[in-house]
Structure 1
Amino acid sequence: MRALTKTTLADTAVEAIRSEILARRWLVGEKLPNEASLSSMLSVSRGTIREAVRVLASQGYLETRQGSGTYVRSTADFGRPLDMARRAGLRDQFETRLALEIEAARLAALRRTPEVISQLRALLVARGNYEGGGKAAFIERDLAFHKAVIAASQNRAMVEIYEFFSLSIADTIEATLGADIPEPDMQAHVAIVDAIESGDQEATGFAVRRFMAPVIAALDRLLMS
């Protein structure tokens, strides 16, 4: 388990104070309790409180007045538009990834070989399931599987395009490891390989679409909330 560093404590303090501001615990123009009181309230050091106040002031929630204290500047939720923009961007990324992976998988089904199927299944075994921790290593293993599906298409241009977008694709994988967006489970991955092995291009395209559908549906719900 990762130790609670000053940075993570400051992040926690930022979220706690911001939540109180958005809940109108303090109104616009109202003075916040002093550092000692906030430190006691949140069970963190005064230095952590100072860092949290600095962050919230930079975000427009608070205003610090020399020799007077810290005051609420706004109770508007500035974080929501940023979250919405990020989610909209993620949806675009997932849609692009879906288009690439559907056609690559269809071509892989057409050009499949026993060696390729064995490789894909081996990569799935190596991938395993995400159980928390080791996020970077898991993303690398998951990405290796999806790159192998693209490579199985035997379309060099498609491989190069996918490689060009690999950082973006890694971001989409990481997004599914959080609480808001579901991670496609192992069975969804296996279904893609099974469909490729069958040689049925239509079934393969459907397997990829079904793989991605819960992710895009979750992003749609978040964008509408």
Structure 2
Amino acid sequence: MSQLIRDGQWPMGTRIPSEPELVELFGVGRNTIREAVRALEHAGLLAPRRGDGTYVCGRNPLAGAISRCTPDPEITDLITTRRALESEAAALAAQHADADTVTGLKALLADTVAALDAGDVERYALLDLEFHSAVVTASRNPLLIELYDGIGEVMRRNHRDLADATSGTGHPRGHHDVVEAIADADPARARDAVHRYLETALDVTARDAAR
């Protein structure tokens, strides 16, 4: 079941099959299915809804662990964590990204800019997270990608607050600098570009909190 969730065959928000259907699907007993479902609920991947079955609520067990430890994280903590992971990921991406990867990043950036220009904060927030996730994926570091995927779910749950913090940070200039540094295979410049962009986001958040 966890693999079906991770692979996206059971997307977020999907109601999983009933217990008898799961027994037939996996060829195991009811007790085994119940134990597996309970384990996935504890891991933060599944959530029961009274009278309406069990639904997929997460893809990465790490996200569940993070949510249990810090159920209501501060936006500044999320941005600081992003800065630590994404700046190094961008440097690695500058070493490993090929032309197709750069093209994909530029396309994502164009969509993000369009959403911002249109004043669609919801779409901007989701595309912004997708852009940064693509940069991390371009690092080709499996452990870094896994760690980011875990906190990525936490960030998606707080995406509107993150959008408020980042929409006034000089975007799209900061994002453009990241992509250009990756395209130029310049790790130091890519690292610095992400660091500057998210440092500005921290400053915006601090100013808003002081009002």
Same fold (TM over 0.5): yes
Among 122, 125, 130, the residue aligned to 1:136? 122
* Corresponding residue number in structure 1 for 2:77: 92
Aligned counterpart, 1:106: 91
In structure 1, distance between residues paired with 2:163 and 2:126: 13
Distance 2:119 2:111 in 1: 16
Indicate which of 157, 161, 166 corresponds to 1:175.
Answer: 161
Identity %: 27
RMSD across aligned positions (CA): 2.7
Larger radius of gyration, structure 1 or 2? 1
- 2:166, 2:187 → 1: CA distance? 32
In structure 1, runs of 5+ residues without a counterpart are 1-86
Q: CA deviation at 1:89?
A: 1.1
Q: Is the 8 A contact 2:165 2:201 kept in 1?
A: no
Q: Spell out, residue by residue over 1:159-182, the C-alpha distance to the aligned partner (whole angstroms, 9 max, x if none).
A: 111111113323564225448973
Deviations 1:98-149 (A, max 9, x none): 1110010010011121111111111112222424664433322222211110
Contact 1:100 1:162 in 2 (8 A): yes
1:185 to 161, 171, 178: 171
Partner of 2:188: 202
The Cα of 1:94 is off from its aligned counterpart by 0.5
Native 8 Å contact 1:94 1:172 kept in 2: no
Give ranges in structure 2 of 5+ residues lacking alignment. 1-71
Distance 1:217 1:153, change over 3 A: same
How many residue pairs end up in the alignment? 139
- TM-score of the two chains, using structure 2 as the length reference: 0.57
Look up the equivalent residue of 2:129 and give its one-letter code: L
| CA shift in 2, pair 1:130/1:176, >3 Å | farther
Q: Distance in 1 between matches of 2:128 and 2:160?
A: 10
Matched with 1:145 is: 131
